[in-house]
Amino acid sequence: MKFSAPLLAFAVAFAAPAAAAPKLTRIVFVTDWKAQAEHGGFYEALALGLYKQRGLDVRIREGGPSVNVPQMIAGGAADFGIGSNSFVALNLAKQGVPVRAVMAVFQKDPAILMTHPRPDVKTLAQMRDKPIMLGDTATVTIWPWLKAKYGFSDSQIRKYTFNLAPFLVDQSAIQEGYLTSEPFTVEQTAHFEPQVFLLADDGYTSYANLVLVPQRWIDKNPAAVQAFYDASRDGWREYLNGDPRPANALIKRDNPDMSDAVIAQSIAKMKGYGLVWSGDAKVFGIGAMTNPRWKNFFTTMSGLGLYPKNLPYEKAYDLTFMRNAPQYFQ
């Protein structure tokens, strides 16, 4: 039996197996707390398929009180993860752990001190000699900086157990908190608006919401690291400036206790206080970091005795992927 050339070509094409879809690079990304708006850009990138478009199969695993992100990454239980602040990356460098920060989503650390409305405290400096409730972590992060800048003393420290009741019943109380957490809880439970002092606006230079990546990924698969950076950057831009609902649906799926009201106020504060869009981001785009700022932070903290002055702090971060990413201006 003879076939015409067109028919034969059609038969051959029909019989040929379909081209295999490109294999996606799988990345398990662990967050530093339960799913929340502060992770929104990563969830937005996942929901909109931005990671997949760049050849990645990203799985977001939410953190929590018992999750040690650096330990999970170093041990291989997760590929990438969130470092809450610059101390996390510097501590890894101090310990000789080959994990680096490649992206800083928050240009401002959301760490705050808050008070009841009161006429005698309108600045951080006016809190000197007054009792301040702090959690254990704060005593070795924000507190040394406050002592150095404002002359605070350890005699001011009171224990913060993450129970707001002592703060609510004491109108002279001052306590630490997180910009998008404690103030909103106070407003909802006690029906007054606390005075909020964002330390970043007074010169506290820690980055926050850092993307941590093992050195082995940077060395062996830099294209995947770049793809994650780019997709995450675009996800954050869309989450804050576009429609956040796709991400919010995934956030509430992973954390059913999360409410629309909490998410909405978190987004408003991230935008209103410029957590994402300020500092280096205005020059180099969302997620940017710079050598001078890392040096400034390290010099300050090593001067306070938190790190050896000869620590190779540059091993805490890698700017390669920021420089390769397109610049965005808004």
Domains and CATH numbers, the chain: 25-107+206-324 (3.40.190.10), 111-202 (3.40.190.120)
The tokens describing 289, both together, are: 């970091």
- What are the CA-CA distances from residue 81 to residues 189, 213, 296, 300 (Å)? 33, 7, 24, 26
Q: Mean of the per-residue pLDDT values for the chain?
A: 92
pLDDT value at 323 more than 50: yes
Separate counts of helices (H) and strands (E) for the chain: 15, 10
The tokens describing 184, both together, are: 């909103």
What does the pLDDT read at residue 326? Answer: 52
What does the pLDDT read at residue 328? Answer: 45
Between CA 249 and CA 231 the distance in angstroms is 19
pLDDT value at 24 more than 80: yes
pLDDT: is 30 or 329 the higher one? Answer: 30
Lowest mean pLDDT among 72-76, 182-186, 193-197, 314-318: 72-76
Between CA 52 and CA 206 the distance in angstroms is 31
256-289 pLDDT tens trace:
999 999 999 999 999 999 999 999 999 999 999 9
The DSSP code for 121 is -
What does the pLDDT read at residue 8? Answer: 45
pLDDT value at 189 more than 50: yes
What does the pLDDT read at residue 66? Answer: 85
What does the pLDDT read at residue 329? Answer: 38
Which pairing describes strands 25-30 and 80-85: parallel, antiparallel, or unpaired? Answer: parallel
Between CA 300 and CA 203 the distance in angstroms is 11
What does the pLDDT read at residue 325? Answer: 52
pLDDT value at 85 more than 60: yes
27-43 pLDDT tens trace:
999 999 999 999 999 99
Confidence of residue 22 (pLDDT cuts 50, 70, 90): confident
* Residue % of the chain over a pLDDT of 90: 88
233-242 pLDDT tens trace:
999 999 999 9
Residue 290, exposed/middle/buried by CB under 10 A (0-12, 13-18, 19+)? middle
Q: What are phi and psi of 109, to 5 degrees?
A: -70, 130
pLDDT value at 232 more than 80: yes
What does the pLDDT read at residue 11? Answer: 46
Please list, residue by residue across 24-35, b when 16 or more beta carbons sit within 10 angstroms of its beta carbon and e when fewer do. ebebbbbbbbbb
Between CA 287 and CA 206 the distance in angstroms is 13
Q: What is the mean pLDDT of residues 96-113?
A: 98
Which pairing describes strands 99-106 and 111-115: parallel, antiparallel, or unpaired? Answer: unpaired
Q: What is the mean pLDDT of residues 306-310?
A: 97
56-66 pLDDT tens trace:
999 999 998 88
The tokens describing 218, both together, are: 């940077």
- What are the CA-CA distances from residue 99 to residues 35, 88, 96, 188, 315 (Å)? 23, 10, 9, 39, 8
